[in-house]
Amino acid sequence: MRLRSTDRLKVLNHSLSVNGKPFKVQYPDEPLCCVEHGKLVTLVIKGCGCSLTYWDPEEVEGNYV
The C-alpha atoms of residue 20 and residue 8 are separated, in whole angstroms, by: 8
Q: Where residue 40 falls among pLDDT bands split at 50, 70, 90?
A: very high
Phi first, then psi: give them for residue 20, nearest 5 degrees.
85, 0
What is the structure's pLDDT at 31?
94
26 HSE (CA, 13 A, CB side): 8
> Is residue 58's pLDDT more than 90?
yes
What is the structure's pLDDT at 48?
86
The C-alpha atoms of residue 52 and residue 20 are separated, in whole angstroms, by: 24
Average pLDDT for 13-42 = 96
